[in-house]
Amino acid sequence: MTRRIYLPALFFTMILVLSGCSTPTGPIDPAKADFFSKYFVYPLSETLDWFASHLWGQYGLSILAVTIIIRFIILPLTLKQYRSSKRMQDLQPEMKKLKEKYKDDAKKQQEETMKLFQSNGVNPLAGCFPILVQMPILIALYQSIMRNQQIHQHTFLWLNLGQPDHFYILPAIAALTTFIQQKFMSTQMNAQMQSLMFIFPVLIFVMSMNFASALPLYWVYSNIFTIVQSYFIYGNPQKLKGGLTK
């Protein structure tokens, strides 16, 4: 059941990102802008400008600052996700018993499983919340880049933040950090969810090849934040080391 929930959420995420990238690229006029542009895109664009003005004019560092702020904002949801997944693990023996008991009645099995979740305060959708909360931010970030000429024309390291990385270095880093992030959290995943560890990095790589570099740069920063965060939440780096050497 977890897989059935996770997969639609994953692809829904991809659709939202892609649909958000097919928007106008002209400058934002707050007086004439639509609701999303006025209250999401424009404030984020101004925030990126403000941080850049205080970070030696570097929009790559400005994106880092915004990433850290965003990740701290969604930290309570992340901790809730961790607690929920931990409870889910603890309930695996009970879920196995229900599966065996109602193996011939899928509807009853699902009903009893949901009752088990409710009685133990487990929300199977908790793992999707941090992703879904970030979706408007990702879309707004992409639009703020494409509609802010300073960002669109800015260079950071070898990157033109308004253009894809034609050397494919950034897409590779984005995919690698996504894989490491998921590997670090693999002890909290069931076997079905672990199969997605190879799908999601590939999707990130393909999208990073086509998006303005500022967006995969955000993903890289966000992934690194998650890896460090996971170290403190999940602990035991020996599990990660063992998993990476398999």
34: left (phi over 0), alpha (psi -120 to 50) or beta: beta
Nearest to 230 by CA among 118, 106, 75, 122: 75
For 116, 193, 244, the CA distances from 1, given in Å and listed in that order, are 13, 11, 27
Q: How far apart are the first and last CA of the chain?
A: 27
For 131, 143, 149, 185, 228, the CA distances from 136, given in Å and listed in that order, are 10, 11, 21, 24, 24
Helix (H) or strand (E) holding 192: helix 191-194
Strand 159-160 relative to strand 155-156: parallel, antiparallel, unpaired? antiparallel
25 against 243, higher pLDDT: 25
Which residues 6+ apart lie within 8 Å of 64 measured at CB? 221
Helix (H) or strand (E) holding 226: helix 214-234
Percent of the chain with pLDDT over 90: 10
Instruction: Give the tens place of pLDDT for each residue, 114-172.
Output: 777 777 766 666 556 666 666 777 778 778 877 887 877 788 889 888 888 889 999 99
> Whole-number mean pLDDT of the chain?
75
pLDDT of residue 14: 52
User: Over 80: is that where the pLDDT of 70 sits?
Assistant: yes
pTM over the 0.85 mark: no
Decide: 17 and 136 in contact? Cβ < 8 Å.
no
Helix, strand, or coil (residue 124): coil
pLDDT of residue 232: 77
Instruction: Give the tens place of pLDDT for each residue, 54-68.
Output: 999 898 999 999 889
User: What is the Cα–Cα distance from 229 to 89, expressed in whole angstroms?
Assistant: 20
Instruction: Give the tens place of pLDDT for each residue, 6-34.
Output: 444 454 455 445 444 445 566 777 777 77
186: left (phi over 0), alpha (psi -120 to 50) or beta: alpha
162: its two tokens? 């308004």
Instruction: Give the tens place of pLDDT for each residue, 103-117.
Output: 776 777 777 777 777
Q: How many CB atoms lie within 10 A of CB 161?
A: 24
pLDDT of residue 115: 77
User: What is the Cα–Cα distance from 149 to 160, expressed in whole angstroms?
Assistant: 12
198: its two tokens? 């190879």
pLDDT of residue 224: 92
